Amino acid sequence: MAPPGRRERPFSSGRFSGLLLATLVLQLSSFSDACEAPPTFEAMELIGKPKPYYEVGERVDYKCKKGYFYIPPLATHSICDRNHTWLPVSDEGCYREMCPHIQDPLNGEAIFANGSYEFGSELHFICNEGYYLIGKDILYCELKDTVAIWSDKPPLCEKVLCTPPPKIKNGKHTFSEVEVFEYLDAVTYSCDPAPGPDPFSLIGESMIYCGNNSTWSHAAPECKVVKCRFPVVENGKQISGFGKKFYYKATVMFECDKGYYLNGSDKIVCESNSTWDPPVPKCLKVLPPSSTKSPTLSHSVSTSPTTKSPTSSASGPRPTYKPPVSNYPGYPKPDEGILNSLDDWVIALIVIVIVVAVAVICVALYRFLQGRKKKGKADGGPEYATYQMKSTAPAEQRG
């Protein structure tokens, strides 16, 4: 009997833990004799509801998923084996549904981007040269319910045809009687004779052809009188493109006279608005350099009077001729010496200084020589007397 003041518990915690452990052992022993969930596949699915585990010898069946169809003889079922694994099974027997075959369009070609008709693939269409596509250029194989169908109808390739080209004022084109032109059919435009002294010029492409999308390759040209003013360049001359009148696309080139340089382009063209492009250049005089700074030669300066500097794309003046540096103030000419460029009084002063210097040198040299001569005589007197005495003594003795 329990002591007073304490109530007896109907079920102890130790007994509960033992019961739970026994249950888990029973569950594990039962699982060890079973297979886990069967494998899953991309192209097929399990028939029926999957279970957490399967007993040995139990069979499961598969079927192809939506968009796939089955081709025997590969098995579509598996069995839980004694080693608690599933017998091998594969979904290789399930194939994708395919869209109906589409042939190449007439005068065109159908290209499979994925190399098959299976759903999810694309079919591209192109037309031969001279034909254009009517319809979608790409079709998609899509799945509708369990059937694979193309996203649209196959396109067609129609021949490129053009309507007659536009007529122009003061001109005409060939084949004016034709109403329909096929691909690459061409016409040539020409201008009518002008009523005045100046002819019409054809502005634009003289020949156009029927191209893709049933359009002409270029816009129709224009016939009108184009005449530019006679180009005059002061202190310069024209070296090419001579003529009395200058019509459309006439080209003229210039060069400047000696002592001038070209400001602008040396080549101009008469354009459709009867103006020169670029504008007529100018010949500007070559200015001497400042006296405080020695002249420097740039790449555009020529040292030869007959040499012209090449045309440059750089902006700014481009001289065609610049005199040699010998022509600038302060520089002697090639045929003159340094003394010729000096003033007369400077030359006279230099001559006087030179004469005085020569005279001073001569006087100094003369005095030096005279001094040495006198000194030689003074030092040689006693020695000469002694010599005379010695030379006369033997003579007297012999006598």
Question: 185 burial class (0-12, 13-18, 19+ CB within 10 angstroms)?
Answer: middle
Rounded CA-CA distance 10/299 in Å is 117
Give pLDDT, residue 147. 87
Q: Let me know if the fold of 44-96 is the same as that of 227-285.
A: yes
**Segment 364-393, tens digit of pLDDT:** 888 888 877 776 655 554 444 444 444 444
Q: How confident is the model at residue 5 (pLDDT cuts 50, 70, 90)?
A: very low
> In the beta sheet, which residues pair with residue 121?
none
Mean pLDDT of the chain: 79
What average pLDDT does the segment 262-289 reach?
Answer: 94
Q: How confident is the model at residue 347 (pLDDT cuts 50, 70, 90)?
A: confident
Domain 161-225 CATH assignment equals 2.10.70.10: yes
Give pLDDT, residue 293. 53
Instruction: Say which residues have a Cβ less than 8 Å from residue 266's Cβ, sequence separation at least 6.
Output: 253, 254, 255, 281, 311, 318, 320
> In the beta sheet, which residues pair with residue 63?
45
Residue 211 pLDDT exceeds 60: yes
Give pLDDT, residue 118. 87
> In the beta sheet, which residues pair with residue 222?
203
Instruction: Say which residues have a Cβ less than 8 Å from residue 168's Cβ, sequence separation at least 6.
Output: 189, 220, 221, 222, 223
Give pLDDT, residue 154. 94
What average pLDDT does the segment 260-283 reach?
Answer: 95
Q: Closest by alpha carbon to 100, among 127, 64, 136, 139?
A: 139
Rounded CA-CA distance 60/51 in Å is 10
Q: Which of 106-110, 299-303, 389-393 has the lowest mean pLDDT?
A: 299-303
Q: Which of 32-41, 170-179, 321-330 has the lowest mean pLDDT?
A: 321-330
Residue pointed to by tokens 């003889």? 73
Long-range contacts of 33-36 (CB under 8 A, 24+ apart): 33/84, 34/80, 34/84, 35/80, 35/81, 35/84, 35/85, 35/86, 36/84
Note the CATH number of domain 44-96.
Answer: 2.10.70.10
> Which backbone phi and psi does 352 adopt, to 5 degrees?
-65, -45
The DSSP letter of residue 318 is B
Instruction: Say which residues have a Cβ less than 8 Å from residue 121's Cβ, sequence separation at least 6.
Output: 99, 112, 113, 114, 115, 140, 141
Return the percentage of the chain with pLDDT > 70, whole number: 72
**Segment 85-105, tens digit of pLDDT:** 999 999 888 988 889 999 999
Residue 107 pLDDT exceeds 80: yes
Domain ranges of the chain: 44-96, 108-159, 161-225, 227-285
Give pLDDT, residue 313. 40
| pTM (predicted TM-score) | 0.49
Residue 127 pLDDT exceeds 90: yes
Return the percentage of the chain with pLDDT > 90, whole number: 47
Superfamily of 108-159 according to CATH: Complement Module, domain 1 (2.10.70.10)
Q: How confident is the model at residue 106 (pLDDT cuts 50, 70, 90)?
A: very high
Give pLDDT, residue 97. 87
Q: How confident is the model at residue 125 (pLDDT cuts 50, 70, 90)?
A: very high
Instruction: Say which residues have a Cβ less than 8 Å from residue 23's Cβ, sequence separation at least 6.
Output: none
Neighbouring C-beta atoms of residue 44, cutoff 10 Å = 21
Rounded CA-CA distance 61/199 in Å is 93
Give pLDDT, residue 116. 82
Domain 227-285 CATH assignment equals 3.50.50.60: no
Residue 9 pLDDT exceeds 60: no
Q: Which of 98-107, 306-315, 349-358 has the lowest mean pLDDT?
A: 306-315
Query: What DSSP string runs through 353-389?
Result: HHHHHHHHHHHHHHHHHHHHHHHHHHHHHHHHHHHHH
